[in-house]
Each structure stands twice: as structure tokens, then as C-alpha cells.
Structure 1
């Protein structure tokens, strides 16, 4: 049977626990009866046997009958002193049916609606026996206790529902609404226990998914917009190549647009790769100082073609943990962006420093900068400052700084830009590992 309600399951579990507890307590009670209470009653029966035997041996049958009469009226039931064969010493009747089978010397039982007690003297000459009706305890006697147990179980079930089941239902409802498309749905919880951890884990997951989904939707729209123009030009160039006598010029135009689309697709693949590796699978120690040296050497060729120079100042002693390739792409995109918008025969400064356990990398060019209101938008996909489009070197696909931002954020760092007057200053902050790394991670 499958139980679909956690409240029902909790109630059944508590009833089961109550039933098992009752059986356990009953077993404990029976054991205490055998080990503590029964021995006490056996001593009491021995005392009555000795008293009855003394009356019989010293004062005769009449005195024994009077003693048994007093016992009958003092305690419930009928009491007897029997000889070794089970003959009543007062009436002479055979009451051997009250005696236990040999070799037992004690009997304490309930049968046929009666309780029966039999106790033999140590020398085996006499038996003390008693028999009486079992008293019937009315069920009303235990009803308050039954109701108390039922009430306690109901209260515990209610507390379980309030403390566990209802919060889980709210979390399940939030997850269902999020799955139906309500990306803003979150779980409101202040709990510090496991249920609170589940809620906060869902909120973190929902935040991440919402950011990814919104980002991908925006990226898809931007991609559609960016592809529309070169595709339209391609279509026109193909038509022109078919009708124009100067097919070389038409083919050159087609080649430029194809190269632009190819570059755009390459950048889209790169930004998808960065976004698809948020946990930095295969993280390894990354020597940022070394990466910056390699990037500067690679970019020097492009800078020298413009008559520009790249100057690096400062050192980074410690390493970061993450993806070497992602960090390389981030720094390279920022540096190439600075070269692209720098005036000819100018310099680009790259300064390195460690501040509070972070690597601080600052790239500054001497170009036109950007309007203040667009400083935060230059990291958005496909965003370009209008004045930059007239740059003779082209503005690329508009994804370089966006790729850099996503790569830096994947390493729990941050990136921001500010006008340096003249030029633009981009500041990258990435957490470093200042403690010695484990050997297995250092050689990963």
C-alpha cells in the first residue's frame, strides 16, 4: 500500500510506535512481575502457610478453620491448608486439582475465570492453596488513559504537520510553480534545520537557473539581432554577384560578412562554454602571474601593429583555484579590448597587486573611454558604445567583455570599468589561495 499523505504516514508511524511501546512495556511489566512481585507474594504465601500449619498443629482443626475463615474475609477468595495429597485438613475434601503437577512446588495461575494459588511447605507435608474469581475491571476505568494517549498522538501529529509537513508542502508548491515557469518563485524560510537548508538550496538553484534562463533568452534575442544584418548583406551580395560584372567586389563583401558571422559564432560558442562551466569542473591551481605574461606576449603582436606598447607592473605571488583557460580568456579579452580602442602609438598599462587575499588586475588604455551611464552595460552581450563603431579597427562581436565578466564571476571574482580620463580602466578581482595547497591538487 502506498501512502500519499505524509500526515497519514506520520499518524500511522506514531500509532505503530505507541503499539510497540505498549508491547515493550507489557513485556517489562511481566518481567518485573516474575522477578520482583511474584517472589514477594511467594514469601507472603509461605508466611500464611506457616501460620495455618502452626494453628493446625498446636490447636487442632477447629482453630485452623477459624484462621482460614479470617483469611477468607480479609482477602478475596477461599483459602485452604492441604496435606501432601491435596486433602483439605478442615473439611476432608479432595482439592488436589488446585495443586501443580510434580515436581512443581508453586502455582500462580488464572484459568476458567478464577485465580489459583498453591504453595508447598519445604518439608512437603502441607500445601497452602487459595482460589477466587477473577475481578472484572470495567473498560471505563481505562478510558481516560486511552483518550490521553489518543490526544497526545494527535497533538504530536499536529506539531509534526506544522513543523515538518506543511513547510515541505510549501517548498513543493514553490518548486512546482517554478517548474511551470514562475522564475521569481522563492521559498521564504528562516529555519536553520534541514528543512531550512532545503529551502535555501532551492532558492540558490532557482536564482542560478533564473539568471541562466534570462541570460540565455536575452543572448538568443541579441544573436538574432546581430545575425540579421550580415545575413541581409550576404543575401544582397549574392544577388549582386549574379548580376554585376564586378564579381570580385561582391565576393569580397560576401567574404567579409562570412568572416563576421564565423567570428560571431566562435564568440557565442566561447560564451556558452564559460556559462556552462559554473562549478569549474577540473579546477586546478592557476598561476595568474604566468598567465598574464603569456597573454601579454600574445597580444604584443597586435599592439605593435598599432605602434602601441604594453607595460606590466607589480607581481602576484599566490595562485588561484579554477580553470586556467577561462582565466586566460578573461584577461586576454580585456587586454585586446584595450588595444582595439587605444590610439596609435599609445601605451596600455597592466598593474598587478594582492589585496586582502585577492589578485587585483587593472588594465588601463588611453582611448576615448565610454559615457558614464554605459559603464555597467559594456559587459552586456553585444553592447557597443556608438562612438566606438566608427573606430577604424572595428568593434568585434561585442561579446569579449561579456565573456570576461562571466569567466571572472565563475571564479567568484568581480570585474568593473571606470573612466580614467583619458581612457578606460578595467579592474579584475579574483580570490587567491594564500594557504599551501594539498599535494594532490597542486599536481592535478
Structure 2
């Protein structure tokens, strides 16, 4: 919950910048009372402008510069607690502060835009590499299977034909899932993902996501709290997010172990836990697993996935004002999805 609150605070531009500005003024006032150092005060106020400039857009940075300049004038120059200044040193300090603040804000905005363009270029390159590699594998399997079936049909018995058809069907589902995740990832990166919300029972969505797992439904252990209220969500997107988490758990779960899925209500949130008994996740990788195209240094198997599923799940859950994270457990991996109950309507 604390992590959820921190993420919301960090992503709220107005709240973040206000907190930084006010915090800088308070710290500067304390330093002024203790040491009477004008240089220290100006450095703290300038640091606040830099932090806002890098975290928020240029408008907030320029506003922060003006507010901090007025604060310096009001609280730290003679006469105190007025907007008048008579000492040439104070006027010079204020002018230099404003010039440096505006230059810093401009360069920070330029740096942020360049980083965004670089990130977009890297994403495009990653998508191209992923498409060329990950589309080829299921397509080759489907083509090979159907070719074998076509050429040797008379020589194959019913069981062999069924195995070939099941293999082609399984790879077709895999290909469809990959393309769906690729489309959603592209929409999320470009901010074009459209969410149409309706009141839905989350328990039904979880069950539908489980039912989509090919040949794995018997390996899922479910503990569902059907009393969880309706949520206002996009059913298809939330189902996709849950399925991606389930699919990831299935990939790394041992053959003789089941994947545990639970739905519960915790305070004002709906909590969905998906746990597998696989090799687990290192502490340093707990956040990285939600990065696009990250598949983990320990995941060397051919069926380790494309590295898009959890990234897409995070984007969808975040778009619903929820959050998803890897929870520390003694064995295996536990992925927790939390959605706010107050996003939904009251159950009729």
C-alpha cells in the first residue's frame, strides 16, 4: 500500500512539485535559522527547481522558479516577510537565481525530450527484433506440422493426426496471444489505449482468464471470494492482464506443481494473487520483470516467453488506477494485482 501511495504521489505532477517546493522552503528556513547562510538557502531552492524540472514539464519548472524566487524575497531578504528588497547583494542573488533556474529548466526539458525520443527508438528496434524472432517460431511450427499432416495423412493413425492438430492449434493460440500483446504494448507506449469501463464482477473475469489457458486448467488452484463488489473496468483488458500473469506463472511452474490463484478484498482494494512454485525472482529483478521485452537472465528455456506479457499487464492495471508487483515469498513467485474498489459501482 505504501508503494502504491508513493507511485500515485510521484505521478501526480502538481502534488509532487508542490511538495518539493514547500519542502525546499521549509528546509531553507531551518538552515537560515541555524546558520544564517544565504548561499545555502539559494542552493536548496535551486535544487528544488532542478528536481521539478527533471520530474515534471517545463511549465511546472518555470512556475517553481518564480515561486522559489518570491519565497527567497519574502522569507530571506531584508526587510523580512515583505516583497521589497533594498540590498544590492540580495537583488543580484535573486537575478542570478532566476537566470540559472530558467536555464536549468530549459536544459532539463530538452534532456527529457531527448530521452523520450531515445526510448522510443529503442522500443521500435526491440519490437522489430522481437517480431522477427518470436513470430518465426510458432509460424515455423504451424507450417511444419500442417505440412507433415498433409503429406503423410494416409499413413498416420487417428492419434497421430490428433497430436499434430493439437500442436498446430496450440501454436496458433500462442501466435494470437503474442500478436495481441504486441498490439496492446504498442498502444500503451503511444498512449492510444482506449478504455471503456463497465461494472463487472472481477471473480467472473478471473475465471474466464483461467479458462483461456490451453491444457492447463487442471493445474490451477483457485480460492475466490465471490463477495467482492463490482468494479468499473474494461473486461477484455483486465482479463488480458490477468491471463498474461497466469500464462507467465504457467511457463515457470514445475510440471507437478499447481498455480495458485486467489481473489480477496483488502480494505478499499480488490487483490488478485497469482503464485507459482518455480525458480522465483531475484530481489534485484522484482521491478525489471515488468519492463517491456525483459525475460530475465535466469530464464534460458525456449518457452520463456517474449517479455511482453507482464509489461502489458502492468500498463493495463496502471491505466485502471491499480498496481501490480512481485511480492517476496520463500519459494516460487507471487505476483499481486491490486485494483481500487471505489472505481466500481455498488452492487445492485
Query: What interval of TM-score do these two structures reach, taking the shorter chain for normalisation?
Result: 0.5 to 0.7
Give 1:432 shift: 1.3
Task: Return the structure number with greater relative CO, CA threshold 8 A, min gap 6.
Answer: 2
Count the aligned residue pairs: 221
Note if 1:298 corresponds to 2:207.
no
Aligned to 1:289: 203
Aligned to 1:354: 265
Report the structure, 1 or 2, having the larger helix content: 2
Match of 2:301 among 390, 394, 398: 390
- For 1:209 and 1:281, how far apart are their aligned partners in 2? 27
- For 1:298 and 1:410, how far apart are their aligned partners in 2? 23
Give 1:330 shift: 0.7
Q: TM-score, normalised by structure 2?
A: 0.52
Structure 1: 5+ residue runs without aligned partners? 1-177, 193-205, 238-247, 249-254
Aligned to 2:182: 268
Structure 2: 5+ residue runs without aligned partners? 1-52, 68-109, 141-150, 152-167
Alignment check: 8 A CA contact 1:419 1:425 kept: yes
Distance 1:331 1:209, change over 3 A: farther
Distance 1:301 1:310, change over 3 A: farther
Give 1:209 shift: 9.2
Alignment check: 8 A CA contact 1:384 1:398 kept: yes
Give 1:427 shift: 0.7
Distance 1:209 1:292, change over 3 A: farther
- For 1:287 and 1:273, how far apart are their aligned partners in 2? 26
Alignment check: 8 A CA contact 1:267 1:397 kept: no
Q: TM-score, normalised by structure 1?
A: 0.42
Note if 1:187 corresponds to 2:81.
no
Question: Which structure has the greater CA radius of gyration?
Answer: 1
Distance 1:356 1:223, change over 3 A: same
- For 1:213 and 1:409, how far apart are their aligned partners in 2? 22
Distance 1:286 1:277, change over 3 A: farther
- For 2:196 and 2:326, how far apart are their aligned partners in 1? 30
Give 1:210 shift: 9.3
Aligned to 1:314: 225
Alignment check: 8 A CA contact 1:341 1:368 kept: yes
Aligned to 2:287: 376
Alignment check: 8 A CA contact 1:360 1:428 kept: yes
- RMSD over equivalenced CA pairs, Å: 4.2
Aligned to 1:149: none
- For 2:113 and 2:346, how far apart are their aligned partners in 1? 32
Give 1:266 shift: 3.9
